């Protein structure tokens, strides 16, 4: 079983819709959770991270963690065409500094 699983999509939604992106993990030792965004033909870049259960908001983005079910979500409100990208979740391993990424979900926002 992979440590981090994501639905690869692709996911297409109309502009203005609420988007829900999900990630499951198997290692209960994961304490921190990161979301990276990757535009086409670019390297991934950090979007946001959280280190607790519950919600964290940053503008139109909300990260939600449910440690009891090992489930991570990223919500995008009022989605824009500029949000079209691949979204990768990455729970850092507290024992070392390497990041294991999910396969990513490819999102397209249709104008």
Q: Could you list the residues that contact another protein (CB under 8 A)?
A: 31-32, 34, 41-46, 49, 51, 88, 92, 94, 96-104
- As measured in angstroms, the least distance from the Cβ of 103 to another protein is 3
Q: Cα separation of 5 and 24, whole Å?
A: 5
Q: Number of helices (H) and strands (E), helices first, in the chain?
A: 0, 10
**DSSP character at residue 40:** T
- As measured in angstroms, the least distance from the Cβ of 5 to another protein is 10
- As measured in angstroms, the least distance from the Cβ of 34 to another protein is 8
């Amino acid at each position: 079983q992979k440590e981090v699983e994501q639905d690869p999509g692709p996911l297409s939604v109309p502009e203005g819709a609420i988007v829900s992106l999900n990630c499951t993990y198997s290692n209960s030792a994961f304490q921190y959770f990161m979301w990276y965004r990757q535009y086409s033909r670019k390297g991934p870049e950090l979007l946001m991270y959280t280190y607790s259960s519950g919600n964290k908001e940053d503008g139109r983005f909300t990260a939600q963690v449910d440690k009891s079910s090992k489930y991570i979500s990223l919500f995008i409100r009022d989605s824009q065409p500029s949000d079209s990208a691949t979204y990768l979740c990455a729970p850092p391993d507290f024992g070392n500094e390497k990041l294991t990424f999910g396969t990513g979900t490819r999102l397209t926002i249709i104008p």
